[in-house]
Copies of this chain bind each other. A is one copy, B any other.
Amino acid sequence: MPNEDKPPPEPLASAPGFLLSWNGQRIARKFAEAIEPLGLRPPHFGVLTLIDASPGSAKRELVERSMIDASTMVAVIDDLEERGLAERRPDPADRRRRAVYLTPQGRRALERGRKAAIATAKDVFGPLDERELATFVRLMRKIAGAD
């Protein structure tokens, strides 16, 4: 994408919605670049995080907690399994269900991804002081309906 690091032009840069979308795209792209050397793309990292938070989740549960649809989720879990980062285990109580777990390698990859996320955030949110960053998070959670 051209001009990724250039400030957005007026009058768009005055519109709150445009600013939100622009900065969102920017950090998403930067994060994607940061984890590319790990062989991961953002959906991989997101799903690793969700599995870690609820080990043994079924695919359907992961879909419910994400913005990833069912068929894409299959592909993401396939990728993770191929790379030895996660594994599906059959559920004896319901043989349709396949519980998903992280491998030790998966946990290491997640840790590396987290470091990349922190580094990216440090870069993008660098212009804000600590207090402003806290305010930012509070407002973003409010907008997201997380509180």
Chain A residues with CB under 8 Å of chain B are 1-28, 31, 42, 46, 49-50, 53, 63-69, 117, 120-121, 124-125, 127-128, 132-133, 135-137, 139-146
Contacts and interface: CB of A to CB of B under 8 A. Distances in A.
A146 B142 CA distance: 24
Contacts of A142: 127-128, 132
A42 to B, nearest CB: 8
Question: A11, A117, A146 — which one has the most chain B CB atoms within 10 A of its CB?
Answer: A146
Copies of this subunit: 2
A48 to B, nearest CB: 11
A14 B134 CA distance: 11
Q: Which 4 A-B pairs have the closest CB atoms?
A: A24-B24, A19-B140, A7-B145, A17-B121
Contacts of A124: 17, 20, 143
A2 B136 contact: no
A16 B139 contact: no
Nearest to A66: B3
28 contacts: A2-B68, A3-B65, A5-B145, A7-B146, A8-B146, A9-B53, A10-B53, A11-B53, A12-B46, A12-B49, A12-B50, A16-B121, A16-B133, A16-B137, A17-B121, A17-B125, A18-B117, A19-B144, A20-B27, A23-B140, A124-B143, A127-B143, A128-B142, A132-B142, A135-B135, A135-B139, A136-B139, A139-B139
B67 A4 contact: yes
